[in-house]
Every structure is written in C-alpha cells, then in structure tokens.
Amino acid sequence: MMRTRPLKVALLGCGVVGSEVARIMMTHADDLAARIGAPVELAGVAVRRPDKVREGIDPALITTDATALVKRGDLDIVVEVIGGIEPARTLITTAFEHGASVVSANKALLAQDGAALHAAAEEHGKDLYYEAAVAGAIPLIRPLRESLAGDKVNRVLGIVNGTTNFILDKMDSTGAGYQEALDEATALGYAEADPTADVEGFDAAAKAAILAGIAFHTRVRLDDVHREGMTEVTAADFASAKEMGCTIKLLAICERAEDGASVTARVHPAMIPLSHPLASVRGAYNAVFVESDASGRLMFYGPGAGGSPTASAVLGDLVAVARNRINGTTGPGESAYAALPVSPMGEVVTRYHISLDVADKPGVLAQVATVFAEHGVSIDTVRQQGKDGEASLVVVTHRASDAALGGTVEALRKLDTVRGVASIMRVEGE
C-alpha cells in the first residue's frame, strides 16, 4: 500500500547535474512513487543565481539561502550536487542535525572528510549515500559495499576520469600530441576551461580514496593517494607502448598487499597490455576492474560523467534512501574496521618502462645494466637504437619497488654516457 504523505526532497545546486535530477524527479514522478512506496516532492532548490531560468521548476522553490533550506526540519532527503568542500560540508552536517538523510555526488569532500560525514550521519541516525561521486552512472559503490561485502577485495584498477581517457585515446588512435588532444576535448565539452583537476589526477585521486576505503574497510583520505598527472605523456611514449603491445591509460589503482597487512592507493599514467579489458575503453568512458577472492575478476563499464549519467546514480541513491526512510531504517554506513595502514609509494612494486638518451658507443649497455643490478632491479628486456653518436635505450624491468627504481634512475643520471632520462612509465594490468 502506498503512503500518501510525500517525502520531501531539497536540492542543493541546480547546474548540469542538479537540473537533470529535478527533471527526472518530475517527469518520472509516478514511477518513482511506485518504486519507493510514497510520492516524492521537490520541496526547495538552493542556487547561487536565482534569476536564471530553470525549465520545469516552480520559481517559488528557488532560494539562495541553502542554510535556511536544510534547517527547515520537515525535509526527508537533501541532495547535494554543488561540489567543493565548503559550504557543502556544513550544509550536509546541518541537514543531518535537522533530520534529513543526504545523497551526495561530492567526491572531493568525501575523499577529504568522509569519516567525519559518516560519523555525523550515524550520530543522527541518517543515511549518507554517494554512488554518483565515483564513475557517474556506473553502479560501483553499492556493489563494493553491499554485493561484495561477503568477499575479500584485493585490487581495484580503473579508468575513473573520462576527460583524461578521451585525451589519451585520441593520442593513441590519431598520433596527436597532448595539447592538440586537450584542445579537442575542450571544444567537445569533455574538458573544463581549467582542466587541472582532471589532467593532473586530482579528480581520479579523490575517487581512488573513496574506492580504497570501501574495498578494504579502511579509512583512506585524499592525502594518502599518490598522484601523478598525464601532461608529460608524449607521442613517443605511445610509440614505445605500441612496440610492447600496450597502450597508455591514466589509472586509479587500489591494492591490498600480498601479506594483507597494508594497502596502497595511487593514480598515474601506465602502460597496459592491449589484451587487458581496460585497454579497449575508448573516448570519455570509464571502467573499473575489481579483483576479489571469491568472485574473481569483475569489470564495471559505462559513461563516467555528464548530467544524465550522474543524475541516474543520484536518483538510484534517492530511491534507496527514500525506501529506508519509509521503513524507519538506514543503509550501510562506513566500514573501517580493518584499519589497515596505507603504505607509501616507495613500497609499491610494479614493472617499469624507462627510456634513456645515451651515447652511442661500446660499453654503455653494460654500464646501465650494472646500475640496475646494483640497485636490485632486474631487467626484463632492452632495446637500443643508435645514430650519429647518440642512441636511445629502452629498458623494461621485472617487478621492483618504486624506491628501488628511484635509486636506480638517480644513479643512471650520474653516468657520463647517459645524456638524460627521456621517460619513466609504470607497466600495469598483467
């Protein structure tokens, strides 16, 4: 039997995502009511620019006073899609204090202060859901914290930023340089006017922190995630990758140590074999590869950003929270019981592709090989090309720690026969 009293929802933000959330709420009101067991009513919309025309939204619902809106006391759910740290953090905690559960898409805030937000939700007996914070429309948060709750997740490896994947895919498929590919991404609306958050890996790092925390039942903050951007990736790097049967992706990698005693979280460009499922993820799409003990390997794929895909994830959370509200329950909160330490990047073990500019003369390869051996880094393959007294030397290692590789490169730079280190890239996904 359907409840007649509607659930009241406030919307914080009415931009690309917020406006789509409002549109779906109104155009699919009957379906949402049937799925929830009660009608859903848009009770207020907080915005910065009240004079902007918002099609389909009653102007009487628009307010610039977000604080007053969340303090009303009659709200059931607050949907936060304004982003950033403040005022979002204060508005969310205020919503809990005044009786509302919260659905958020705010990856930056959750990566920085997720533990405090979960604590506030628990204190007031309310829900905090955030499927839309990672990978847009792709169901990922809920499978990790509910469907795989009985399994042991060992690794989460993924492409979680559509802008960077579009740029790298364009460089790979057309031979374009970084700037040329970025310009095209900007013209098509995939990249912001200031693309720093995307191309320098900040966006992906926030998502990695959230994923690692859920996957390993451990608090992982943004500061715990090693981050490298992709602005230094060149056409020459792609040429080298192709010679190895690889391509290059900006990856978010969250791993449990082999002994299970620690975890790592990192974001950086990496070569991956063309045989790996992530290698075929094209354009602005996202994909996340999950490896666990019982279920083995799972891949989640789909559009990772945009108004409609992100709104889909928000509405999925809204339905779940609304059902909990009607039943007088709450869904899963933070699970951080494992409290595993987050290891520094220096302890991460992986393979490396190193390109060196060297003098084209006898003995250079032997000198370079000796340096690798002295630092405990085993060489898998070496490729050398030379002309007119100069040469390039490409070394692919077996698995080694980041610290060991760093010491190796430092020693290589001191050799008279090494003119420079052209590039260093990790090799993942094998």
DSSP letter (8 states) at residue 6: P
Give the type of residue at 367: Q
- Using a 10 angstrom Cβ sphere, with 0-12 exposed, 13-18 middle and 19 or more buried, the burial of residue 5 is exposed
**Beta bridge partners of residue 355, listed in sequence order:** 394, 423
Measured between alpha carbons, how far is 225 from 204 in angstroms, rounded to an integer? Answer: 10
Nearest to 285 by CA among 271, 300, 296: 300
168 within 8 A of 204, measured Cβ to Cβ: no
For this structure, is 207 an active site residue?
yes
Residue 363's region, left for phi above 0, alpha for psi from -120 to 50, else beta, is: left
Alpha helices in 104-220 (DSSP H): 107-123, 141-142, 162-174, 178-187, 196-199, 202-216
Q: Which residues contact 14 (CB under 8 A, 6 or more apart)?
A: 22, 45, 46, 47, 54, 57, 62
- Active-site residue identified among 107, 170, 207, 249: 207
C-beta neighbour count of 390 within 10 angstroms:
12
Cα–Cα distance between 12 and 138 in angstroms, integer?
Answer: 22
29-36 vs 16-27: helix crossing angle, rounded to 10:
80
CA–CA gap between residue 156 and residue 46 (Å, rounded) = 36
Which has the closest alpha carbon to 106: 33, 34, 13, 192?
Answer: 13
- Which two tokens mark 77? 């759910």
| Spatial CA neighbour of 250 closest among 153, 148, 188, 182 | 182
Distance between CA atoms of residues 31 and 290, nearest Å: 32
The three-state secondary structure class of 306 is: coil
CA dihedral 38, 41, 46, 47 (to 10 degrees): 120
Catalytic residues: 207
